[in-house]
Structure 1
Amino acid sequence: MSRSHDLRETLDNIVDLVAKRVDADVCSVYLTSTDLAHLVLQATIGLDRSAVGEVRLPPGQGLVGHVAQFGHPEAFADAQEHEAYRYFPETGEERFASLAAAPLIVRGAESARGLTIGVLVTQTRERREFSAEDLELLDTCARLLAPVVMNSQLLALVSGNAEDRARVVEELGEAGLDMVGERVASERSVEIRGIPTSRGIAIGPVYVLGDDIRLDRLDYTPGADAKQEWLDLADALEGARRELHDLRDDVGDRFGADFTSVFNTHIQMLEDKGFVGKLQEGVKDTGSALAALQRVLAEYAQMFAAIEDPYFQERGTDVQDVGQRVVAQLLGLRHQAEPLADGSVVIASNLMPAHFALLETEKIRAIVSEHGGPTSHGAIFARALEIPSVTGATGILDSTRAGEEVIVDGDTGRVFLSPDEGLRMEYERAQQRAIVALEHLDALAERPAETWDGHRVRLTANVGLLSDLRLCERHGAEGVGLFRTELLALVHRGFPSEEEQEQLYEGAAQALAPRPVTIRTLDLGGDKAIPGLETEGEENPQLGWRSIRLSLSHVESFRAQLRAILRASALGNVRLLIPMISQIDELRRVRALIDETKQELAASEIDFDPELPLGIMIEVPAAAVTADVLAPECDFFSIGTNDLTQYTLAVDRGNERVAHLYDPLHPAVLNLIDRTVRSAERAGIPVSLCGEMASNPLAVPILIGLGLGELSGVASAVPVVKEIVRALDMGSAATDARQALDAASPAEVYEIGANRLREAGLLDHPDIGDWLRRSIERSRDGGV
């Protein structure tokens, strides 16, 4: 699908693929018309192709309309006997006895109903009872196809009539994809708060990274010949495509494969027949290459901006970025000409990978953006460069000016514009203390994390992208304790193919070999979704269809990920981790799928580790309470304290009203951790702990005392955790742990941890004392 740059070509590929996978004689796709009044046959294999575009079904009519109306996959062994069946002689479908179909539905981030935009249909000549797996595969294909179709339909709609466009916008709103209002600029403020996405403090001059090409201000005189105008625009399109190829290679070499997927998206857009066709029509209508670009880009921007869904809004950003690049090629303009001053703080609306190929990254001291979050490109680059970053700083572009001095606090998410002398001196002192502390901690990189009485602890890192691996090296992590594969999917703006996943997982394993790399299968749902694997709107998504539950409902996608991980395991240092197991039946079903996948690979003579260690995350109370039952059927435990805390305390930490109750050092959470450790010891399997708690200085003495042999946290926190471990003895840590288990409140546990650090001399340490106290304050406030 990703290689098809035209919707018709994509649909033709899909029907051919699905027909083979479900062993059907016919596979067809029906899509809604632009006025939403009909379902129209748009692609088929097995029916008469001359019927494509001719067969039109009003809503609810025929079996196809029936499936679209009710919104879930259905199978009809005796299709022609069903009351909803409708015969179309032009298709030749009287030869086919059975039918199965799944709706194509698009949903917003919080949409309960969604909007049906088509139906994927299979038919067989012989009577057939379609299995549950057949319907599941069909539904998975429909979910993956829906966002592709939606994007194409939106692109087509912007050039349609206003009445159709208004009707679709209304339907999208009713389906839960709310409309976006106009942006209201914030007034200038001395302090602006955003989301801290990369730790540290920076002070420097502002470098405003704006849209340097204003289409409405360009002085452009088209030639007299529209044909020549089109040739000039076609050359510009090709030049932009070549430029993107070069940028993709450059960024991939400098920062890793994580950042190249957006370039592939832009290249595909330039090769899209619909996009190019609209530009060509625009040149014919206006006689101007620039006017055609302006018109098409404006139409696309208006439609994408109208949908309050992050995926579609990012596609709108992609269109504008591509348009800027084509204009630059058309007019011979430089895309970014203003040089960076040394130590600049880059402020932008949003940062794309192309910006980092053009900017001198060694001169960037911090990054602030109005939009984006922890997984935005700007935040990811900032962490890779180990510089402070704040995202979601609404209104900062309207509040600042180029060259103005700014303080960026990546620990708290605060940005100060034109700070007064007292504030600047305060932050300069904090900056110097951090530099001294980090120099001290860097010296520990090659030393073992070992208590002074000889107890060894493995310190690993949580990562989500290949670019994070350099931080593992930088800070002396002993491997990856948690590879969050869902971050790859989120950055790639969709579910990566099996081959793409295998390359990424193998790249991580090779980079850290022989150190272990623990790869967790997709943990989607709840607050994380990708196109093709969206979850339906739920009143309480954190307790609903998410994580392993979602994976087991999309077996084909899950199998592809298992195959990719198994193939990467041939290197010998990979471990497989399954999230959110709550009962033994889930674990057994996963094991069965793994065994089947191993047999498939062996039959195909593909290398993998037959002894690949299988672990489960203990992150719901049910798993901790039944750990004795689960332990014999897996090779290791990994305690996920973020979700374990949330579920144990019945606290949604994203809810501001109750977030103050979220505390991983609550004695109830500690007792579940202790119970899990004891179960692992009885079963003779290792147990690790991952989550923010593993990087909390106050928690470290207690976790060591509970008997945890591996802590996996933020890579940059590995040195400070190592310093704490090296200052402990197991006897004192075990005493602290027992007291914490009997504590009445989290406050008592905090005091136990603080007393241990104080007695170890760490809080008064001349190099790291101040910095450590700041870290403790941050952890008490819910940071890491």
Structure 2
Amino acid sequence: MAGLLRPREPEASIPDRLTVLADVAEIVSRSHDLRETLGNVVDLVAKRLDADVCSVYLTDPDLRHLTLWATRGLSAEAVGKVRLSFTEGLVGLAAREKRPVATRRAREHPEYRYFPETGEERFESLMAAPLIVREAPIGVLVVQTKEERDFDSSDIELLQTCAQLIAPVVMNARLLDLVTRSDDQKARTLADLALSGLSLQGERPRRIDLQGIPTSPGIAIGPVYRLEDPLDLALVEYAPNPDPTGEAADLERALAAARRELDDVREDVGERFGPEFAAVFNTHIQILEDHGFVTRLERAVAQSANARDALREVLAAYRETFERIEDPYFRERALDLEDVVRRVMGNLLGVRHRNVPLSDGAVVVTEHILPAHFALLETEKIAALVSEHGGATSHGALFARSLEIPAVTGVSGILEAARPGEIAIVDGASGRVHLSPDPGLRSEYERAQHRYEVAVEHLDALKGRPAETRDGHRVHLTGNVGLLNDLRLIERHGAEGIGLFRTELLALAHRGFPEEEEQERLYDRVARRLAPRPVTIRTLDLGGDKALPLADAVVEENPQLGWRSIRLMLSHETAFRAQLRAILRASASGNVRCLLPLVSNVEEVRSVHAILAEERAELARQAIAHDPEMPVGVMIEVPSAALIADALARECDFFSIGTNDLTQYTLAVDRGNERVARLYEPLHPAVLQLIDRSVRAAGTRGIPVSVCGEMASNPLAVPLLVGLGLSELSGSPSAVPVMKEIVRALDRGEAAEDVRRALRASTASEIRAIAAARLRRSGLLEHPEIGSWLRSVVEAADRSG
């Protein structure tokens, strides 16, 4: 850890450890009253170990909690009142894991829990040793110091030995007390527990099953780490500068320090993950540089002479404004603002944002998955991410998918239910989260996890094989990406190109339309790295849940059906032309296609063609390299586009069916809405019929058609998509090996017959049954590498349906 170490005392002044133990043993041997004995012990240990605090916490008769029984240094009023479970705080950690805990900076430890009634905020370092009887923890002996101290092995051994000396006395006294009070049942329970060697884990074993929104695929099993706000602005104690002018200067210095921190974070994140990740932090920097924000702070601190109160006041005013606006941009802006204010407050208090020390394989539970988390966390140690709020389209969700970290968002109740350190199972593909799973469920998931990892490893080794059905139908398997960091996934998993490159992340990071040159550099870099494999670049898909702070923006009652995507870009023609020129210039590599999102009528396509014609002519006049024949495609993602697909096919060079939005618009379901997300069903008969209509229209005009939504990597959907005649499937890059194995096991003619039956089906469950039967008849459910995993997918779909 960073910071100055407390120097050790000279060897001659180190307490005689044998004397300490002898004195503790004498106190114990004369014990007649437990509270008196413990009081004498904490006094002795505090003095001899030069500690500012020594306390004893004992297990309650209910076998669920620890209670503060004796202390020297904490508030005397806290004795008998402070109660914590075995899953709370560093004291609970020592009891739960039956081992000593020592930390130089207790408040920075991930298990730290603050109890205001103890007055312990003054203390920095902590050492705790459990009281063990027959392998069962029955209490914890704790010391704390005001100055930072590195406890060495001899300190820990001494405290542990003291704890061992008083443990039998505690057990005997507690049993006698319960018997004296005629509480025989609790006495027997306590005795049985200790004699059996079972550890007290607080609450009785429980299993909690929660459902959220599938956000990033994969299975993870690991201990819960609760990522909570390091500073609670409502509770933080702060002593202002007695000089009002000095207080204003302190705030100014804190603002400047926060600005420097964010510059460092942006640089670090850029080096670790790429420029798109780093650009997100421009938002926080812009807040600190915003004239209105700084002016309001200056006025507030001038009035209150208290920087903390000024920060609270300004944050409350902005939050009140944001809460009246339903637009997703403003909700995200409020989170950005809160993060900035906490950073400034931390600098006022001298508390720095440090990397969070995670144990390997941690399941991180938080309120929102935010980009800032990827700066603070050691991502290589994260097994999974779970959030109470949010959806699959947030910045944090995109980062999780890019880094191949399983994630589930919108898990209602997870913050209340999840305990630090308890085992959690996260299924990113189904959106299920299981807390404290029983051994059977855990074993089931461990087997599934192992099977999937082995399968992907095996299939990755065979990535050079073509995705071709048994009867010779070729299907191109490409990937959906949005970050330069994602290109490694394309290479790793053998994708045949990029079926969808999302361009809006760059705009969202900048909170505005990016310059042409910046876009051209990004697109050209992607195209050249992938060449000659195709790269399909989608024009900015903004608005709705991906809004920008535009001058002409208005609050819409239903932004998903409003001013977004191609509609927004056509009304911002200057910015649209800049992007189209950037795409045209990148097309000089000969492998770029341009894709237009959310098209709902022919006029929109014709308008884009007119702009492209003018920009091609201008580029030719300036002798700037580009592909004059660059293909231009239409995304089929609203029902109107599917219904007029024959007319749209005459206006473009290819179709790309965006099944995510097509499903939402067809079924009137917002999959980011936790209350209706379960109704989101890509295999709904109406969705399948619209896909079929689009494919047939494309076939009539002789243009290729692909699916670029999550449906493309759904094992149950792949046989049906092949049967429909799709020439390209573009999904998660990591799913390409499995998709390829499924395609290679199919017969196109048989799959086409399945589609004819599915198009006559009345329910999604009927269609799933048809698809599952095809997987079974093709031998895929018995496949030596992916059979077990595919069976679990089918079973999960049956349960959800």
Q: Choose which of 566, 569, 579 in structure 1 pairs with 2:584.
A: 566
Q: Choose which of 455, 461, 469 in structure 2 pairs with 1:451.
A: 469
Tell me which residue corresponds to 1:386. Answer: 404
Is 2:689 aligned against 1:685? no
Tell me which residue corresponds to 1:270. Answer: 288
Q: Choose which of 445, 450, 456 in structure 2 pairs with 1:438.
A: 456
| Aligned 8 A contact 2:423 2:436 in 1 | yes
Q: Choose which of 196, 217, 232 in structure 2 pairs with 1:199.
A: 217
Distance 1:301 1:436, change over 3 A: same
Tell me which residue corresponds to 1:711. Answer: 729
Is 2:247 aligned against 1:240? no
| Aligned 8 A contact 2:224 2:424 in 1 | yes
Distance 1:370 1:511, change over 3 A: farther
Tell me which residue corresponds to 1:595. Answer: 613
> Matched residue of 1:368: which SS?
strand
Tell me which residue corresponds to 1:610. Answer: 628
* Counterpart-to-counterpart distance in 1, 2:679 and 2:232: 49
Tell me which residue corresponds to 1:521. Answer: 539
Map residues 529-678 of structure 1 onto 2, 5 A cutoff: 529-532=547-550, 537=556, 542=561, 547-619=565-637, 623-624=641-642, 627-644=645-662, 652=669, 664-665=682-683, 673-674=691-692, 676-678=694-696
Tell me which residue corresponds to 2:446. Answer: 428
Per-residue deviation, 1:359: 1.9
Distance 1:604 1:321, change over 3 A: farther
Per-residue deviation, 1:345: 1.3
Distance 1:469 1:492, change over 3 A: farther
Gaps of 5+ in 2: 1-205
Per-residue deviation, 1:225: 4.0
Tell me which residue corresponds to 1:698. Answer: 716
> Matched residue of 1:260: which SS?
helix
* Counterpart-to-counterpart distance in 2, 1:650 and 1:701: 22
Per-residue deviation, 1:628: 4.9
Map residues 382-421 of structure 1 onto 2, 5 A cutoff: 382-421=400-439
Q: Which amino acid aligns with 1:330?
A: L
Is 2:396 aligned against 1:369? no
* Counterpart-to-counterpart distance in 1, 2:647 and 2:295: 61
Tell me which residue corresponds to 1:249. Answer: 267
Q: Which amino acid aligns with 2:230?
A: D
> Matched residue of 1:763: which SS?
helix
Per-residue deviation, 1:489: 4.4
* Counterpart-to-counterpart distance in 2, 1:243 and 1:348: 23
Q: Choose which of 478, 481, 490 in structure 1 pairs with 2:496.
A: 478
Distance 1:296 1:703, change over 3 A: closer
Tell me which residue corresponds to 1:350. Answer: 368
Q: Which amino acid aligns with 2:489?
A: L
Q: Choose which of 746, 771, 795 in structure 2 pairs with 1:728.
A: 746
Tell me which residue corresponds to 1:173. Answer: none
Q: Choose which of 755, 761, 765 in structure 1 pairs with 2:779.
A: 761
Per-residue deviation, 1:251: 0.8
Q: Which amino acid aligns with 1:689?
A: V
* Counterpart-to-counterpart distance in 2, 1:638 and 1:782: 28
Distance 1:310 1:720, change over 3 A: same
Distance 1:613 1:229, change over 3 A: same
Per-residue deviation, 1:247: 0.8
1:134-157: CA deviations, max 9, x gaps?
xxxxxxxxxxxxxxxxxxxxxxxx
Q: Which amino acid aligns with 2:488?
A: R
* Counterpart-to-counterpart distance in 1, 2:245 and 2:763: 77
| Aligned 8 A contact 2:497 2:530 in 1 | yes
Distance 1:614 1:246, change over 3 A: same
1:417-458: CA deviations, max 9, x gaps?
333333333332332332233233322333321234544321
Q: Which amino acid aligns with 1:447?
A: R
Per-residue deviation, 1:210: 1.7
TM-score (norm 2): 0.66
| Aligned 8 A contact 1:701 1:724 in 2 | yes
Tell me which residue corresponds to 1:11. Answer: none
1:385-411: CA deviations, max 9, x gaps?
212212223443333332222222223
Distance 1:560 1:536, change over 3 A: farther
Tell me which residue corresponds to 1:127. Answer: none
* Counterpart-to-counterpart distance in 2, 1:273 and 1:526: 28
| Aligned 8 A contact 2:240 2:247 in 1 | yes
| Aligned 8 A contact 1:458 1:478 in 2 | yes
1:516-555: CA deviations, max 9, x gaps?
111222345566544337577467964x665434443443
Q: Which amino acid aligns with 1:275?
A: F
Q: Which amino acid aligns with 2:340?
A: V
Per-residue deviation, 1:575: 0.4
Q: Which amino acid aligns with 2:614?
A: E
* Counterpart-to-counterpart distance in 2, 1:531 and 1:292: 26
* Counterpart-to-counterpart distance in 2, 1:778 and 1:488: 36
| Aligned 8 A contact 1:212 1:336 in 2 | no
Count of residue correspondences: 594
Map residues 253-332 of structure 1 onto 2, 5 A cutoff: 253-305=271-323, 307-332=325-350
| Aligned 8 A contact 2:669 2:679 in 1 | no
* Counterpart-to-counterpart distance in 1, 2:326 and 2:695: 44
RMSD: 3.6
| Aligned 8 A contact 1:642 1:691 in 2 | yes
Distance 1:537 1:427, change over 3 A: same
Q: Which amino acid aligns with 1:712?
A: S
Per-residue deviation, 1:734: 4.5
* Counterpart-to-counterpart distance in 2, 1:773 and 1:523: 36
Farther-moved stretch of structure 1 (746-755 vs 314-323): 746-755
| Aligned 8 A contact 1:451 1:729 in 2 | yes
| Aligned 8 A contact 1:651 1:661 in 2 | no
| Aligned 8 A contact 1:705 1:733 in 2 | yes
| Aligned 8 A contact 2:225 2:365 in 1 | yes
* Counterpart-to-counterpart distance in 2, 1:271 and 1:653: 36
Tell me which residue corresponds to 1:209. Answer: 227
Per-residue deviation, 1:384: 2.2
Q: Which amino acid aligns with 2:610?
A: A
Distance 1:638 1:350, change over 3 A: closer
Gaps of 5+ in 1: 1-187
> Matched residue of 2:595: which SS?
strand
Q: Which amino acid aligns with 2:586?
A: A
* Counterpart-to-counterpart distance in 2, 1:623 and 1:222: 62
